[in-house]
Structure 1
């Protein structure tokens, strides 16, 4: 009899151990997948800002506001989710957050189905004069110019849903893992999470090549391609894909227990075990008021820790530069190096982000291999931050010259001259053509000089149709002080001259090295935070860090980066019914100054 009881107890304990091991693996897999899913959506959003800017004809500063709406959503709920969520059923709260994120992705894509077809500006199909300004209000309303509000709200909803993942997920993981393994687990989860932006940027690159109204317009009739600054890709398609992926990531969290440690110490019968899985441990369920009363004292204890405010300040410096940089990096590569939006997005996803993933896992392995404590982790994070700043500073000197556009960056004789005045676009060679100075319809001459439109190039005749259209007898091309060439022009802006291709390759090499070095400091920063805070305050500490950093480091940077970038615009686009649209051409040197020198390394500590 005693032997049978012993066998039964042993069998039951074995089943519990196996189930605990399975739940550990399930949580690690689920948390890794949700890190991937949320980063997948975030990466796609970052890769699509240029397409969204062009589709809604809005300036970069407004794009910064839209991008910052994600952090605004976090700000609304992060403190309460971090504190109260730690006392409640953390996995289920994470699952509910995933459902909200998916709703946000679907809402973001909705404007495409409410708007009409995209009509890019061109000087060949219509001409605007000052009289059109009188119909501007009703016309812009008809064109759906305010539809960007849906993108703003969808991105905010995605930020609300993402709130519980990091503070509740990381604290839940740290509770049931061994102390020496936490750094490695976090590094693994973050590495899997890095695959999300990689896939998001890959998807963004694909969608940027697909025309926004694919399937409902004749693509052969288009006069622009994906290298044109007026091109808009199928930005909406990726948000539907990311919404489905996030929806799938929510499922496992509804099958996990409230506390892994309490679950694995259950030694009662299977009925109690099943009841625990279903209902969770309810010791705090009836004491909500006591949780509220303990919130402020917990905050006081947290900020009385001398290390914690220092971590917050260093994180603010890092995140301010990183968020501004990653938001407008594709545009930077377009304007400084003449790359297409699709290629720029692809290179970020295929080169920079893998370097980040390798850096994160390398940082975790170094911590585990050398058993670095809090001081060692802090030194490592500081060293990577300083090194990455030096690498970023070097990038400032690697650039191409301005794109040569007559009347904007060079004179009509090809001499260097930058002007913000529309009158400079008029010259003796096109003065009698009555050209519109507001349209952006670039053409390229055989001598490598671009013109803002065929009319401003002084062209008199044309042949062909669609993208194959060629303009002939262009008087401005014929009078250039350059070696004589064909006086015809073709659609599109001319490629960059000189060693721009070599400079771009050099720039990409430094950005990859910069991404790797700065990412090596990410995991040490997390460890410094976790090991410097009392165990019962870990979730609150992570949540408050997210709240403060995203409030001051996530919301302002895209807005002021965008506003600074707007100040460098040489040629604004024109909306279909009049009014200023998205910028078509920037002054490269001013753009580069604001983009690089306002940035900071992205380490966490």
Structure 2
């Protein structure tokens, strides 16, 4: 009797529970790489001296890679060995990460724009006369020689950002099979009550990946790009400077290694396994001999089924058209895809440029902004996802309950997002750009406002960005434009003296010296930033709380044989229209608020150094908030459609229970008329629970 009881118990470690950590680690690895790319966007933009619209295109190349193959992978992939396809995808992702890092090894050393001439050895204390030394630069502000600039850029390889673009695209191709094939594999072989919890685990572990990616990005952004190849004592800028470029390339090597490791377990997992819970039901009351006999019989049966299920690619291709028609005739599915598409547009645009937003609006260093996102926003998202998954498991919510939870969290997070748009602090005080030389606030997009009587005799370059900070908090674009006459010290400790423009202020400072670097923001900015972060973290938690329920609505709203295909098509549409355009049009919108563009080594226009923070905030947060409001409107339409379908299913179930509608043929007819659209987990008990939630 005791042996029979032991036999009836479920095994402690099923194949589903072996697949689960493998899937979770793969999601961690891909999310780690994706988050690191987001954190490195600013560094890449500065390294290759490109505008935000170009860096947005680099970020969007990941989705372009998805677009190329996802429809075929999600449809045909479910017919083949799903774990091995996921493993192969991980290897392709790793190759893309390594290719992304390659341009660093073929480019010249990074040269930032500066007027400081650093000596070596005994000449390191060389005094510089900025007003005199820059007199030869006045001719550089004339009409540029376009042909000379193109030839110069070609010679130094400034177009090598294309390889970063292609590497990220390859990473997107490799990522394609992980989610659609992995989630459908879990849903097929996990028990119905455990599926939401397993998905929540995968998503939560996946969120740890971005945390690691952002923390790595924050750490590497403080390490100089050419570390090990230059004398860091000769670098006159710090990681807080807008010209600073961190060791972005090193992170892609790390991510490539991690993704390679994640591919290993999938090569040892089977194509299909027994559904979780079946062993306990079928083996209850059987002795060890009977179980051994049954397993032997099943192994032979599986071999026979494998031979019978050999289907040609041509036959599967012929069935693709009808499958698409069935999928796109599902109103719930189409509304869910539309809602996801709009929300993802807002999310992708926001997360891509959020570090830059925190840097320009609140004066945070790029590394600190990335660090805070990693240790505050992302853990809040992880807690929200696991909390939502546990609630779904405990309450046993069906389609309507899951949709209600997702919509409520979306509305609340949108309200908090709108509040964030009103959190602001004062502009950085930069003479000639955000304030006049007398200290009067004024925004100027013209280089001519950089000239004043105090620097009129210096023949300063108006293109150069080499900011210096006065003791009264005023920033000047360069020592020359500050009217400085002499200097002392060396490298980062260089100090300029006798700066005539400081005396033009309405409240002049007795100290007429400036130091290298842009002035920090005032104390009230730090207080407003704390309020912004509190709203941001709370909104992240609430938004993520409904994340798992959105997956449940999707999985429960389609036929079982279309799960992988539906997930793949949703990913295709959302990645295509929600992943590629947002970084580009968000970047172009942000570029319009630039006050001071940098200058490339060859003389062309480089990356933006300073933005109009108020215009940046209004355009950026206004666009994000507008997209999320629109997503909530479509959520309302989606919820209404789900409730209508559920009522019809409840009525059909009641008629069947009373014996009015009947046999299998009638049931098939009802399904053909759309009454069985939600096919997973729709029994009388679930409908009953829906009516009480």
Q: Which TM bucket (shorter chain)?
A: over 0.9
Residues 447 and 485 of structure 1 are in contact (CA less than 8 Å); yes or no, is this contact kept in structure 2? no
List structure 1 runs of 4+ shifted beyond 6 angstroms. Answer: 13-17, 262-272, 274-277
Scaled by the length of structure 2, the TM-score of the pair is 0.82
Kept in 2, the 8 Å contact 1:561–1:594? The answer is no
Query: Any conservation in 2 of the 1:208–1:232 contact (CA below 8 Å)?
Result: yes
SS at match of 1:320: helix
Does the 8 A contact of 2:471 with 2:509 survive in 1?
no
Aligned equivalent of 2:171 = 158
Determine the C-alpha separation between the residues in 2 that align with 1:591 and 1:165.
36
CA 1:55–1:368 in structure 2 vs 1: closer, same or farther (change >3 Å)?
same
Q: State the shift of 1:288 in Å.
A: 1.7
CA distance in 1, matches of 2:293, 2:497: 88
**Is 1:24 aligned with 2:24?**
no
Q: Please give the per-residue CA displacement for 1:380-433, whole angstroms capped at 9, x wherever unaligned.
A: 111111111110010111111111000000000000111111000000000110
Match of 1:142 in 2: 155
- Cα gap change, 1:15/1:131 in structure 2, threshold over 3 Å: closer, same or farther? farther
The 1:64/1:180 distance shift into structure 2, 3 A limit, reads: same
Preserved CA contact (<8 Å) 2:470 2:513: yes
Equivalent positions of 1:467-546 (< 5 A) are: 467-546=492-571
Q: How far off its partner does 1:270 sit? A: 6.9
Map 1:9-158 → 2, pairs under 5 A: 18=11, 21-125=13-117, 127=137, 128-130=140-142, 133=145, 135-158=148-171
Corresponding residue of 1:191: 204
Deviations 1:167-219 (A, max 9, x none): 10000000111111111110111000000000000000011000000011010
Q: Give the equivalent residue in structure 2 for 1:425.
A: 450
Contact persistence 1:257–1:276 (CA under 8 A): no
Q: 2:597 aligns with which of 572, 595, 598?
A: 572
What pairs with 1:157-236 in structure 2 (closer than 5 Å)? 157-236=170-249
In the superposition, relative to structure 1, how do residues 207 and 271 fare at CA in structure 2: closer, same or farther (>3 Å)? farther
Return the offset for 1:303: 1.1
Query: Rg larger in 1 or in 2?
Result: 2
* Worse-matched range after superposition: 194-203 or 305-314: 305-314
Superposition deviation, residue 122 in structure 1: 1.0
Distance 1:274 1:238 in 2: 49
CA offsets 1:475-520 (integer angstroms, 9 cap, x no match): 0012211143200000000011241010011111110001001111
Aligned partner of residue 84 in structure 1, secondary structure: helix
Q: Conserved in 2, the CA contact under 8 Å of 1:207 and 1:238?
A: yes
- Structure 1 gaps of 5+ residues are 1-6
Q: Structure 1 residues 591, 485: closer, same or farther in 2, change over 3 A?
A: same
TM-score when normalising by structure 1: 0.94
Does the 8 Å CA contact 2:141/2:463 hold for their aligned counterparts?
A: no
Counterpart CA distance in 2 for 1:588 and 1:374 is 43
In structure 2, C-alpha distance between the alignment counterparts of 1:274 and 1:188, rounded to whole Å: 34
Give the length in aligned residue pairs.
Answer: 595
> Which of 235, 240, 243 is the equivalent residue of 2:253?
240
* 1:402 to 2:402 alignment: no
**Cα offset for 1:304?**
1.2
Measured in 2, the distance between the counterparts of 1:113 and 1:314 equals: 43
Which residue of structure 2 aligns with residue 3 of structure 1? none
Matched residues in 2 for 1:385 and 1:282: separation?
48
Contact 1:259/1:281 (<8 A) preserved:
no
Shift of 1:271: 12
3-state DSSP class of the match of 2:98? helix
Distance of aligned partners of 1:66 and 1:161 in 2 relative to their CA distance in 1, 3 Å threshold: same
Q: Please list the CA deviations of residues 454-492 of structure 1 after superposition, one character each: whole Å capped at 9, or x if unmatched.
A: 000000100011100000000001221114320000000
Separation in 2, partners of 1:302, 1:129: 60
More displaced 10-residue stretch of structure 1: 47-56 or 472-481: 472-481
Q: Give 1:253-402 correspondences, 5 Å limit.
A: 253-261=266-274, 281-402=306-427
Could you say which residue in structure 1 is the equivalent of 2:678? none
CA distances 1:132-171 after superposition (whole Å, capped 9, x unpaired): 7363122111221111011100100000000011110000
Secondary structure, in 3 states, of the residue corresponding to 2:609?
strand
- How has the CA–CA distance of structure 1 residues 527 and 286 changed in structure 2, closer, same or farther, with 3 Å as cutoff? closer
Instruction: Provide the C-alpha distance between the structure 2 equivalents of 1:15 and 1:108, rounded to a whole number of angstroms.
Output: 52
